[in-house]
Amino acid sequence: MTRVKIFSTANCPFCVKAKQLLKKWNIPFEEAMIDSDMAARREFAAATNGARSVPQIIIDGECIGGFTELTELHMEDRLDHLMTT
């Protein structure tokens, strides 16, 4: 089971950056494109409590937020802890 899921759209530069960072940090993730998949859009609404911006990143079922929150977790050395527990 993938621990990290990223909800994104095709034309979102922050989505691209978030995915690049996850790849750089060797964190496997599943991507759900909410602009082309209605089931993913419904899952996005439920998993993020109605968020309206992308990317939205889910780690172990908990929405951590988007690109900014992802980089903050990494800079504060909290991302490694989330991924090792």
Domains of the chain: 4-84 (3.40.30.10)
CB–CB of 32/7 below 8 Å?
yes
pLDDT, tens digit, for every residue of 19-77? 999 999 999 999 999 999 999 999 999 999 889 999 999 999 999 999 999 999 999 99
pLDDT for 2 equals 67
Q: What pTM was computed for the model?
A: 0.91
